[in-house]
Amino acid sequence: MAALLVGLRLRQLGRALGRSPWAIVTLVLSVLAALGGLGLLALLLVTLRTFAPASATDAVVILGSALVVAWMVASVLVSVDDALAPERFSLLPVPARRLLPGVLLAGAIGVGGIATAVALLLTLIGWSVDLLALIAGAALLPLQLLTCLLAGRALAAALARRLATRSGRDLTLVLGSVLIISAGIVVAILLEGLRSLGAFDAVLGTIAQVLGWTPLGSAWAVPQALAAGSWLEAVGKLVIAIATVALLWLVWTRDFRSRLTAPIASSGGGRVRGGAWIDRLLPASPAGAIAARGLRYRFRDPRHLINVIGVAIVPLLVLAMNLVVGNGVDIDIDLAADPREQAALDTFAQLGPMLLPLLGAIVLMSVAQLDAAYDSSALSTHVLTGVTGTQDRAGRALGMVVLYAPMLVAMSVLSTAVSGSWHLLPASLGAALGTAGLVIGVGSAISPWMPGQTPAPEASPFGKGSSGGGQALLGALIMMLAVVIIGAPAIGTAIAAAWIPWLTWVSLGVGLVVGSLSTWLGVRLGGRALDRRWPEVLAAVSREG
């Protein structure tokens, strides 16, 4: 049965790749990204093994704990569209005990599972500091992989009924996305804390020691204890590791058996209320109706809501990280002992008001290109009701402007207030709004040719298709080139305004002109292309990511 399920999983992946060459491109890019990450991990472990052997073992324990946490988070965020959910087997006359091994193995097939297995093999570099630790590390590799796989399955099982409700899914996905996006500032805070303590090795060892006695890192701490000659400690941590796997298996198998006979049915969010103000705000036209529907989707569909959160929070996190790690503009000059640090503070004070809102505008890239793909088969309503391509493009662009323009204005005001350079506010607005209009225009123009792929409706925003695929990457490259070339006047004058004050108003004017003309031209060109390619676009976006 295990071989059958693994074979079915492989055939499923093969059919997905055969439907579109862009799926192959996406897979290749995912593999390259995984190889890059694994290469960096290998370089880090080799460096630590060579120059700081004690820190190498500590790093392996922390890495193992991080892998377990990553599988837990990923399983919860992607479990909504799990192709191996127990409900899919509920009609088969096969007992759970025969399905469980195959489901677990099939779930590990993919870039993430294979990359995890390779990362675990690379940890042997760290254990090579001691022969006994190397042997123990190699022997514990299956247990470590099981810990990762079962941790994700068990947590998803424990939250399954909560995630079956629309409100539970939405809340979990939104909170998860915020935590993922905010991970950067947490890392920055930790690194700054370690730097201020001035005892990196000692802190790293303390963290590894604590994690080694927890279910997260016990399976990786056993070889470390053996390398230190602490046999009793190694036995205690091994007991914790085995007990952890046994408990995780028990939680997952009980839930699996229960859902085979009593499947969990997903429920909706109930009656939709409010939102009439949107209809009064927008014109009574096809473009206005499309914009109104898009605005409603932004806050009701988690796939859209996470994009809104990304546009809003990424610049704020960059600003917060600068403040936390000591590169903020409000730090007293006396604290900057290094002249180079003070130069960085001065540069941020001058360019921060332009760069942070500009970052928010650039985050709009995937939104501008993939907006139609999120509609999936519902896009057919535009075809059936006779909506023209220009009306479709104009409505989507109008909805983005209504929502994101105020957000970018708020970012400009906030970053200017933090820097204290209020005279740069017009330049900040020009750079942000000009770039946003340019991105929306280019996205509208290329979307009919490269609609991209997105997770299916009701699926997890982090599930299959969440990266947008190869088309989204190519579209992002095109938009970046457009920003660099076409947006150069607005961005260049905004940056120059930091040293030539009268250019602030020039930047605002140039930005508004560039943004408006780009949006208008993109809507026109994209509309004409869409009128010719409605069948192709509808077929492309109707496929499940």
pLDDT, one tens digit per residue, over 224-268 is 888 888 889 999 999 999 999 999 999 889 888 888 887 766 665
Q: Are residues 443 and 382 in the same domain?
A: yes
Domain that holds residue 240: 2-261
Residue 240 forms part of a structural domain: yes
pLDDT of residue 189: 61
- Tens digits of residue pLDDT in 20-41: 666 677 778 778 888 888 998 8
Q: Are residues 193 and 295 in the same domain?
A: no
pLDDT of residue 327: 46
Q: Are residues 257 and 284 in the same domain?
A: no
Q: Are residues 315 and 213 in the same domain?
A: no
Interval 415-438 mean pLDDT: 86
Q: Are residues 291 and 430 in the same domain?
A: yes
Residue 14 forms part of a structural domain: yes
Q: Are residues 322 and 439 in the same domain?
A: yes
| Token pair 């390779």 in the structure block, residue | 118
Question: Cα(114)–Cα(216) distance, rounded to whole angstroms?
Answer: 20
- Tens digits of residue pLDDT in 288-334: 999 988 888 887 777 788 778 877 777 777 666 666 555 443 433 34
Q: Are residues 253 and 301 in the same domain?
A: no
Residue 475 has pLDDT above 80, yes or no: yes
Q: Are residues 138 and 7 in the same domain?
A: yes
Which of 9-23, 316-330, 501-515 is least confident?
316-330
Long-range pairs, 4-12, Cβ under 8 A, ≥24 = 4/102, 5/84, 5/99, 5/102, 5/103, 5/105, 5/106, 6/102, 6/105, 6/106, 6/109, 8/106, 9/83, 9/84, 9/106, 9/109, 10/109, 12/83
Q: Are residues 535 and 501 in the same domain?
A: yes
- Per the structure, the count of domains in the chain is 2
Could you say which of 261, 290, 324 is where a domain stops?
A: 261
Q: Are residues 73 and 120 in the same domain?
A: yes
Q: Are residues 19 and 158 in the same domain?
A: yes
Residue 274 forms part of a structural domain: no
Q: Is 543 exposed, middle or buried (0-12, 13-18, 19+ CB in 10 A)?
A: middle
Q: Are residues 288 and 207 in the same domain?
A: no
pLDDT of residue 330: 40
End-to-end CA distance of the chain: 28
Residue 271 forms part of a structural domain: no
**Over the chain, what is the mean pLDDT?**
80
Residue 267 forms part of a structural domain: no
Q: Are 225 and 60 in contact (CB under 8 A)?
A: no
Which of 104-108, 126-130, 325-329, 347-351 is least confident?
325-329
Interval 375-384 mean pLDDT: 86
- Tens digits of residue pLDDT in 143-175: 999 999 999 888 888 877 776 666 666 677 677
Residue 269 forms part of a structural domain: no
Residue 175 forms part of a structural domain: yes
